[in-house]
């Protein structure tokens, strides 16, 4: 039985196509920078937004009309799995991602919850045997249930810490069973509201203990997926511990975790942190920590996580430029952590939204590749920093200079001559490449 009977397989029809259910730019087999587009982009569908989310907001219930409506409990969970594989295959999206609680309902105890999960994981495993679709990453929802009111690994209640540990233990076993290529930690409520009742040192130490335990258990069971942390500055906590890439990298380094973790950078989280997406990607990349991305976009006029499908070509091009400079995302990918707007409530909108995101990233990749091939920004940097490739600048870079030699060099030199940064001209060139 088909869940999306009005939609067939989405094909690449090229940029002249007027068919809204076709790709205009995403052509999986097209070679860009020596790699198939599909392999470069490694798109993933986020289960929580596409199959679990229903469009509710703080002022109203969900509006979505979905083929799995009319079922409940485990039957609902099964109907979603069935529809999800039809969706991935029709769209030609090679990966998916989920939280444990997206895919199966909770039971009265953790044991019962795990039993529900086992049923759905077995079903997914069966689908994955006959489908080419793979699991990019799985994660644990340790923020929705009221037990996580004070956090999970950073809670003030040791029983909750134990529960979270058991939940991630099961998550790693699930990842092993389904062959997930990454395991993500997003610190949903790992943060605090007020220092008046918070022992920050204990909470951060416990968070690091938790991550070390996760590594130990993964090694014990032979789980080989890449560990990723997803920074976010606020929401739901006022102060989230994984504020942004720089904060998260510093945390990982302080606790000796930097060799086992990379970052999953989300566009909308960058906006909330007061950064651009490319800033967060760049900081991760130059620290060797760019692992994967959550592709979406926020709204600079709104202070919360709107998780819109990414259609801002300018931002996506600059993001893809960072990813290209990174040599791709390795075992990571481009996960659409994005939801259709509440007023886009028809099931077909799920296709339109993913097509829009996939086409935008395909275009961004092509523009970024051209920028790299033509050395546009490489030349900008070479020219701007030319003074560090010769003479005294080269001495500084090579560690041959000290305060005394620098003083001797500059003291009688007179007026220093600077060069223009040429930013407007560079931006105009970038526009020429994009349009
Ligand atoms: C929340 C968010 C999460 C993570 C996975 O803002 O981005 O959905 O991606 O827990
Ligand atoms: Co995310």
Please say if the pLDDT value at position 141 is more than 90. Answer: yes
The finding on whether 296 has its CB within 6 A of some atom of ligand 1 is no
Is there a catalytic annotation at residue 307? no
Cα–Cα nearest to 39, from 363, 333, 324, 319: 333
Q: Over the stretch 212-265, which tens digit does the pLDDT of each residue have? A: 999 999 999 999 999 999 999 999 999 999 999 999 999 999 999 999 999 999
Residue 330 has pLDDT above 90, yes or no: yes
Average pLDDT of the residues in 9-18: 98
Tell me, in angstroms, the distance from the centre of ligand 1 to residue 53's CA: 13
pLDDT at 1: 78
Index of the ligand 1 atom closest to the CA of residue 335: 9
Answer yes or no: are the C-beta atoms of 38 and 23 closer than 8 Å. no
Cα–ligand 1 centroid distance for 325 (angstroms): 25
In which band, very low, low, confident or very high, does the pLDDT at 418 lie, cut at 50, 70 and 90? Answer: very high
| Average pLDDT of every residue of the chain | 98
For residues 179 and 135, the answer to whether their CB atoms sit within 8 Å is yes
Q: How confident is the model at residue 6 (pLDDT cuts 50, 70, 90)?
A: very high
Mean pLDDT value of segment 308-330: 98
Ligand 1 atom 10: residue of nearest CA: 186
Mean pLDDT of 204-212: 99
Mean pLDDT of 10-16: 98
Share of the chain above pLDDT 70, in %: 100
* pLDDT at 354 exceeding the cut of 90: yes
Name the residue of 266, 297, 303 to mutate for ligand 1: max ligand atoms within 8 A of Cβ: 266
Beta bridge partners of 35: 32
For the residues 267-294, what does the mean pLDDT come to?
98
Q: Which of 25, 49, 99, 282 is catalytic?
A: 99
Q: At what angle do helices 347-373 and 313-325 cross, to 10 degrees?
A: 60
Of 25, 49, 100, 102, the active-site residue reads 102
Q: What is the pLDDT of residues 379-403, one digit of tens each?
A: 999 999 999 999 999 999 999 999 9
Q: Verify whether ligand 1 is closer than 6 Å to residue 232 (CB atom).
A: yes
Q: Is 137 a pocket residue for ligand 1 (Cβ < 6 Å)?
A: no
Does 402 participate in catalysis according to the annotation?
Answer: no
- How far does residue 379's CA lie from ligand 1's centre (Å)? 37
The pLDDT of residue 80 is 98
Question: Ligand 2 center to residue 9 CA distance, Å?
Answer: 27
């Amino acid at each position: 039985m088909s869940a999306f009977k009005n939609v067939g397989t989405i094909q690449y029809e090229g940029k002249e196509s007027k068919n809204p259910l076709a790709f205009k730019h995403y052509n999986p087999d097209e070679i860009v920078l020596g790699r198939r587009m599909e392999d470069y982009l490694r798109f993933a569908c986020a289960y929580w937004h596409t199959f679990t989310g229903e469009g509710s907001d703080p002022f109203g219930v969900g509006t979505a009309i979905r083929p799995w409506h009319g079922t409940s409990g485990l039957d609902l969970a099964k109907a979603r799995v069935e529809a999800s594989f039809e969706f991935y295959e029709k769209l030609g999206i090679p990966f998916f991602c989920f939280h444990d609680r997206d895919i199966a309902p909770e039971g009265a105890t953790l044991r019962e919850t795990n039993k529900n999960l086992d049923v759905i994981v077995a079903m997914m495993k069966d689908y994955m045997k006959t489908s080419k679709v793979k699991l990019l990453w799985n994660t644990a929802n340790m923020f929705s249930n009221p037990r996580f009111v004070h956090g999970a690994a950073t809670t003030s209640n040791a029983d909750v810490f134990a529960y979270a540990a058991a939940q991630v233990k099961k998550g790693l076993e699930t990842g092993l069973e389904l062959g997930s290529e990454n395991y993500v930690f997003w610190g949903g409520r790992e943060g605090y509201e007020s220092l008046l009742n918070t022992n920050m040192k204990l909470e951060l130490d416990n968070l690091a203990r938790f991550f070390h335990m996760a590594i130990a258990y993964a090694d014990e069971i032979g789980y080989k997926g890449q560990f990723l942390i997803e920074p976010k500055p606020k929401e739901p906590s006022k102060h989230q511990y994984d504020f942004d890439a720089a904060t998260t990298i510093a945390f990982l380094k302080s606790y000796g975790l930097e060799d086992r973790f990379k970052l999953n950078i989300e566009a909308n989280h960058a906006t909330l942190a007061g950064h651009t997406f490319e800033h967060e990607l760049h900081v991760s990349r130059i620290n060797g920590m760019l692992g994967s991305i959550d592709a979406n976009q926020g709204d600079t006029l709104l202070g919360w996580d709107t998780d819109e499908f990414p259609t801002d070509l300018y931002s996506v091009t600059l993001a893809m430029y960072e990813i290209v400079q990174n040599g791709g995302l390795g075992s990571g990918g481009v996960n659409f952590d994005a939801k259709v707007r509440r007023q886009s409530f028809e099931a077909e909108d799920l296709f339109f939204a993913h097509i829009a995101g996939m086409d935008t990233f395909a275009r961004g990749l092509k523009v970024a590749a051209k920028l790299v091939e033509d050395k546009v920004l490489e030349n900008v940097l070479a020219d701007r920093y030319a003074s560090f490739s010769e003479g005294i600048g080269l001495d500084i870079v090579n560690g041959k200079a000290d305060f005394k030699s620098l003083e001797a060099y500059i003291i009688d030199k007179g007026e220093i001559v600077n060069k223009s940064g040429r930013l407007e001209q560079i931006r105009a060139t970038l526009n020429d490449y994009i349009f």
